[in-house]
Amino acid sequence: MNPARSWPGTSYYQVEAGDERANRGALDEDGECDIAIIGGGLAGISTAVSLMEQGVDSVRVLEADQPGAGASGRNGGFVFAGYSLANDMLFKQLGREQATLMHGWTRDAVRRVRERINRYSIDCQVNDAGVLLADWFHDDRRLRAFQGRMLKQLDFRLDFVERETLRSLVDSPRYGAGLMEPGSFHFHPLRHIRGLATQLQQSGIHVHSPSPVTRISRNERGWRLTSGQFTLQAREVVLTTGGYDRKLWPSLQKALQPIATYVAVTEPLDGLAEQLVPGGIAVYDTRFAFDYFRPLPDGRMLWGGRISVADRSPDAIRRLLKRDLRKVFVDMKGARFEQAWGGWMSYARHEMPLLGRSPEGLWYGLAFGGHGMATTTLAGEVLAEAICGNGARLEAFARWQPLWAGGMLGRGVVQSKYWWLQLKDALRAHLSVGRDRK
């Protein structure tokens, strides 16, 4: 079957960055290490990088495919602060002091991602123009109220962008005002994670791929991992497989619900992308199931959106996202999507990441759907700190435990919830049009 025409599709990032399979090596002999990390997405790679930066070198990463083959290398490439759990809910659950502290960790992580790109000279097409939250509903008062709450509740500053100014950044009448997050940026996520993996290898840390782990078992020396014909003995094991495996440790992974999202990239637009988004910013909007887009260095536009429990073919994704794009940029109605793809994000019921250690001693970092690149990077730091003996930040995540996600029934409930929230967005958008016309 042609991978470009079936789920999840071949991403633009894969085509642009090229095949790097020759740069990695599968586990080809029995071995041992202090720490084994299962999963070469951003959570696993960031855990290894954080351990490396703390002077731990007996680390191995085992990835079933290639680093970044899953959600970490297939996403929109936005780097900004926050969790999947809404900021207002974070404040409600924790109170101001703790919520400010934990949200601040994600803002620190944005800076850490940027610092590492510089430190390790990672060529990942960084664009520091920033990330803009654009108001789909033309409700300045509500947007300003949100801006004020974020400063008061979380000490989180967002810069208000007036409607007239926003039109100079995004040439579309679809949006009202907006909020810009200082320090936010966007980049090529697959190049980013490959760059981190290369740095690990250059520092003597093995990144084995493709090396799917088929079994984990406890023994008197720690853990025994099986991959192909070979085994790896490790003192500690970290599980960071996200939405792409739910079988290695079922008692934990039953808390994950895989949710699909979709992305597409246009053909080169002969300067049109730069005309429509002249500031080069990345944009998402204030709906629950928002669109997100950003211009690319080669004159294309990346467009993403939709949330579903369904896998769809690239052709179906093209059709869906083309309708969404036309609502924002009429001038792009003739643009063709060259690549379209999807991917699985893993979510927990409480919308926070799963970070901790199981009763058997298995470390885990899972459920990063909706959290973004910075917060997933934060997870790697938190896990590395705990493995090295400082569990203070890990303890802060202990209140969000792995809860059964409901299996197939849970998928139906999730989809129904999404449809309901999308209906509410549509009704609010309809009312906002009427209000703007008065």
CA distances from 268 to 132, 274, 339 (A): 23, 11, 12
pLDDT higher than threshold 60 for residue 435: no
Q: Which helix or strand (DSSP H or E) is residue 242 part of?
A: none
Mean pLDDT, range 400-416, rounded to an integer: 78
pLDDT higher than threshold 90 for residue 380: yes
Please name the residue that has the structure tokens 């810069």: 159
Q: What pLDDT is attached to residue 144?
A: 98
CB atoms within 10 A of CB 144: 13
Contact 248, 241 (CB under 8 A): yes
Higher pLDDT, 414 or 170: 170
Take residue 160 and report the two structure tokens written for it.
């208000």
CATH 3.30.420.40 assigned to domain 3-437? The reply is no
Contact 125, 294 (CB under 8 A): no
Mean pLDDT, range 217-229, rounded to an integer: 96
Mean pLDDT of the chain: 92
Take residue 295 and report the two structure tokens written for it.
């211009």
Share of the chain above pLDDT 70, in %: 95
* Sequence ranges of the domains in the chain: 3-437
Q: Name the band, by pLDDT with cuts 50, 70 and 90, for residue 410.
A: low
CB atoms within 10 A of CB 308: 18
pLDDT higher than threshold 70 for residue 130: yes
Q: Which one, of 302, 305, 277, 309, lies nearest residue 290 by Cα?
A: 305
pLDDT higher than threshold 80 for residue 353: yes
pTM equals: 0.94
Mean pLDDT, range 206-228, rounded to an integer: 96
Q: Name the band, by pLDDT with cuts 50, 70 and 90, for residue 357.
A: very high
Contact 111, 184 (CB under 8 A): no
Take residue 139 and report the two structure tokens written for it.
């409700």
Query: Pairing mode, if any, of strands 230-239 and 222-227?
Result: antiparallel
Q: How many CA atoms lie within 13 A of 202 on its CB side?
A: 8
Task: State how far the Cα of 375 lies from the Cα of 419, in Å rounded to an integer.
Answer: 27
Task: State how far the Cα of 73 lies from the Cα of 88, in Å rounded to an integer.
Answer: 29
Please name the residue that has the structure tokens 């009763």: 359
Angle between helices 189-202 and 96-119 (to 10 degrees): 70
Mean pLDDT, range 167-180, rounded to an integer: 96
Share of the chain above pLDDT 90, in %: 80
Kindly report the backbone phi and psi dihedral angles of residue 263, in degrees, each rounded to the nearest multiple of 5, phi listed first. Answer: -140, 150
pLDDT higher than threshold 60 for residue 127: yes
Of the listed ranges 96-110, 303-317, 342-356, the least confidently predicted one is 303-317
Of the listed ranges 225-239, 249-263, 351-365, 396-410, the least confidently predicted one is 396-410
CB atoms within 10 A of CB 275: 12
Could you tell me where the DSSP H helices lie in 188-281? Answer: 189-202, 250-253, 272-276
pLDDT higher than threshold 50 for residue 437: no
Please name the residue that has the structure tokens 């996403």: 75
Q: What pLDDT is attached to residue 310?
A: 79
Angle between helices 96-119 and 140-154 (to 10 degrees): 90
Task: State how far the Cα of 248 lies from the Cα of 434, in Å rounded to an integer.
Answer: 53
CA distances from 280 to 186, 276, 291, 371 (A): 10, 9, 16, 23
Contacts of 355 (CB under 8 A, 6+ apart): 364, 365, 379, 382, 383, 394, 397
pLDDT higher than threshold 70 for residue 438: no
At 360 the three-state DSSP class reads: coil
Q: Positive or negative CA dihedral for 68, 70, 74, 80?
A: negative
Q: What pLDDT is attached to residue 289?
A: 82
